[in-house]
């Protein structure tokens, strides 16, 4: 029996074939059939679609290059892994194996770092929400507590007084680095004197050990010069403390925020072309520190809490095409099984997306949607893509930072995460959710158990 072809309303649409654009580049697509030596097709078949894939090799390589960028320029450097950027245990442990301390911003993250085997004294505790219980724990474990506001400072003083312990503290400083708007909601301001005031309060109380100064000026920062300004300002505060109290600050923590190679929405050029390199950030920070007037007997340890720049390009999200359809204006749209609930960064990046199999050389302006029954579920508003068919697979690039922590269980269940190790062996490092994992947290009161329809 021959089945009749389904009728589709004809439209006239210009197909593009490797058109040069104003930069002289052509839109050239190569299929990406393998990730770290493994066939996309096989990975999806074995572990399901969608699937997060992390490369251990890439994580270590990027980390070592970043460490080298700083260590060649400055004598004493320490990295601390930003847990919120990606706190899968397997990922954290790679960074800890590479020598990174832990940088956490909540009680839950703090407990995770301890559970991962990080010594208390090598955990940096940031963030505006540290409960009294959290702080007591951190004081007992000798962790580095970065004070965010005066209420926290006073609470710590009480804990110090009652416990007889001397908390090791730093303050978080916010400042004008020439980048606006200023992130002034965290920590104490430099320009208006709040930071100096907090330092004096700490020194006068005599209850705490002032060990460091911290700043984290923003995220996805594209200006190394801003870090130079920030480092100079922290060095100036350190020098003021040295002059007034003859007290040496042991470390300067420059936070994170270095841009990854992703492309911000609305950006004219791709991130791979415009994001500064880690060397650029390292050069700005280390030269500002060394050129400052701060000259203690021992140079302060330089702490770096970089997150996204270290891990973004070490993970991919594999997905499959569910369907194609035409929008009312005739524009092509493709529905993927990857929603913004698991690809949270689609809200601010134009992710690079590559088909996983060969295709025609024609491309068409396409809207890429996710599977959610929600208007906001847009993976790319407009992307010049080769024509994909139902069942085809795609690779979404640079998804290592923030997706596996900010993702949410909404409409669909979260997929598996696999790690490909340096010998190209695949490990499931986070299982997919199931109905069981969800209902395990729920409880139905007796009177609601039964119903009749």
Ligand X SMILES: *Cc1c(COP(=O)(O)O)cnc(C)c1O
Report the residue number, 211 or 383, with the smaller CB distance to ligand X.
211
> Rg of the chain's alpha carbons, rounded to an integer?
25
Binding mask 231-250 for ligand X (x = CB under 6 A): --------------------
Task: For residues 385 and 432, give the distance between their C-alpha atoms in angstroms, rounded to a whole number.
Answer: 29
In contact, 48 and 434? CB cutoff 8 Å: no
Sign of CA dihedral 320, 325, 328, 330: positive
CB of 406 to ligand X, least distance (A): 11
CA distance 314 to 400: 6
Give the nearest distance from C-beta 233 to ligand X in angstroms: 17
* Contact between 82 and ligand X per CB under 6 A: yes
Nearest distance from residue 172's CB to ligand X, in Å?
7
Q: Out of 107, 255, 271, 370, which residue is the one contacting ligand X (CB under 6 A)?
A: 255
Whether cis (ω within 30° of 0) applies to the bond prior to 404 is no
Closest CA to 259 of 315, 221, 285, 224: 221
How many angstroms separate the most distant Cα atoms in the chain? 93
Stretches 80-88, 224-232, 330-338, 442-450: which one binds ligand X (CB under 6 A)? 80-88
- Compute φ and ψ for 293, nearest 5 degrees: -85, -5
Residue nearer to ligand X on the CB measure, 103 or 283 = 103
DSSP element (H, E) containing 234: helix 224-245
Residues between 373 and 402 that touch ligand X (CB under 6 A): 401
Q: Tell whether residue 305 is a contact of ligand X (CB under 6 A).
A: yes
Please select the residue that binds ligand X; options are 126, 263, 363, 393, rule is CB under 6 A: 126
Stretch that binds ligand X, among 115-123, 251-259, 344-352, 377-385 (CB under 6 A): 251-259
Q: Residues 50, 187, 228, 257: which binds ligand X (CB under 6 A)?
A: 257
Give the Å distances, CA to CA, from 388 to 36, 49, 307, 435. 23, 16, 34, 31
Judged by CB under 6 A, the residue of 306, 334, 345, 363 near ligand X is 306
Shortest Å, Cβ 88 to ligand X: 15
177 forms part of the interface with ligand X (CB under 6 A): no
* Shortest Cβ 370–ligand X spacing (Å): 24
Q: Is 148 in the site for ligand X (CB under 6 A)?
A: no
CA distance 132 to 332: 55
Q: Is the dihedral of CA 156, 161, 163, 166 positive or negative?
A: positive
x-or-dash string of contact with ligand X, 412-441, rule CB under 6 A: ------------------------------
Q: Which two tokens stand for residue 61?
A: 């390589």
Shorter beta-carbon distance to ligand X: residue 252 or 321:
252
How many binding residues for ligand X (CB under 6 A)? 18
Place of tokens 């004598």: 75
100 binds ligand X (CB under 6 A): no
The one among 56, 103, 313, 337 contacting ligand X by CB under 6 A:
103
What is the x/- site pattern for ligand X, positions 186-225, by CB under 6 A? Answer: ------------------------------x--x------
Coil, strand, or helix at residue 128? coil
Length of the chain: 453
One residue of 212, 228, 307, 355 binding ligand X per CB under 6 A: 307
Residue nearer to ligand X on the CB measure, 105 or 383: 105
Rounded distance between C-alpha atoms, residue 194 and residue 101, angstroms: 29
Q: CB-hemisphere CA count at 13 Å for 441?
A: 5
Count the Cβ atoms, other than its own, within 10 Å of residue 76: 14
Contacts with ligand X, residue ranges (CB under 6 A): 82, 84-85, 103, 105, 126, 216, 219, 255-258, 305-309, 401
């Amino acid at each position: 029996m021959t089945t009749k072809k389904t009728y589709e309303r004809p439209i006239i649409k210009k197909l593009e074939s490797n058109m040069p654009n104003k930069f002289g580049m052509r839109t050239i697509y190569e299929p990406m059939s393998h990730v770290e030596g493994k066939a996309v097709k096989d990975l999806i078949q074995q572990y399901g679609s969608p699937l997060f894939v992390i490369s251990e090799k890439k994580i270590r390589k990027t980390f070592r290059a970043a460490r080298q960028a700083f260590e060649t320029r400055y004598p004493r450097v320490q990295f601390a892994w930003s847990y919120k950027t990606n706190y899968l245990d397997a990922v954290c442990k790679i960074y800890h194996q590479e020598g990174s301390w832990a940088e956490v911003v909540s009680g839950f993250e703090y407990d995770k770092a301890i559970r991962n085997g990080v010594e208390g004294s090598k955990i940096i505790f940031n963030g505006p929400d540290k409960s009294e219980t959290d702080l007591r724990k951190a004081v007992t474990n000798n962790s580095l507590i970065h004070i965010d506001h005066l209420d926290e400072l006073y609470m710590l003083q009480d804990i110090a007084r009652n416990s007889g312990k001397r908390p090791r503290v730093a303050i978080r400083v916010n400042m004008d680095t020439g980048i606006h708007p200023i992130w002034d909601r965290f920590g104490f301001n430099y320009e208006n004197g709040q930071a100096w005031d907090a330092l004096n309060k700490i020194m006068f109380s005599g209850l705490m050990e002032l060990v460091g100064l911290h700043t984290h000026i923003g995220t996805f920062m594209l200006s190394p010069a801003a870090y130079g300004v920030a480092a100079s300002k922290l060095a100036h505060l350190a020098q003021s403390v040295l002059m007034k109290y003859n007290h040496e600050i042991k470390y300067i923590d420059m936070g994170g925020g270095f841009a990854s190679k992703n492309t911000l929405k609305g950006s004219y050029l791709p991130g791979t072309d415009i994001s500064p390199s880690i060397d650029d950030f390292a050069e700005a920070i280390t030269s500002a520190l060394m050129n400052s007037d701060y000259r203690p007997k021992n140079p302060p340890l330089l702490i770096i809490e970089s997150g996204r720049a270290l891990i973004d390009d070490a993970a991919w999200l594999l997905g499959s095409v569910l369907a194609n359809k035409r929008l009312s204006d005739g524009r092509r749209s493709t529905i993927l099984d990857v929603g913004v609930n698991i690809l949270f960064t689609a809200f601010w990046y134009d992710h690079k997306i590559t088909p996983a199999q060969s295709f025609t050389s024609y491309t068409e302006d396409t809207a890429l949607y996710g599977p959610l029954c929600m208007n906001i579920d847009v993976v790319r508003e407009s992307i010049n893509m080769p024509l994909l068919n139902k069942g085809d697979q795609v690779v979404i690039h640079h998804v290592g930072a923030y997706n596996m922590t900010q993702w949410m269980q909404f409409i669909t269940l979260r997929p598996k995460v696999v790690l490909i190790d340096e010998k190209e062996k695949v490990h499931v490092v986070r299982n997919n959710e199931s109905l069981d994992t969800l209902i395990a947290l729920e409880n139905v009161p007796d009177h609601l158990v039964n119903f009749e329809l």
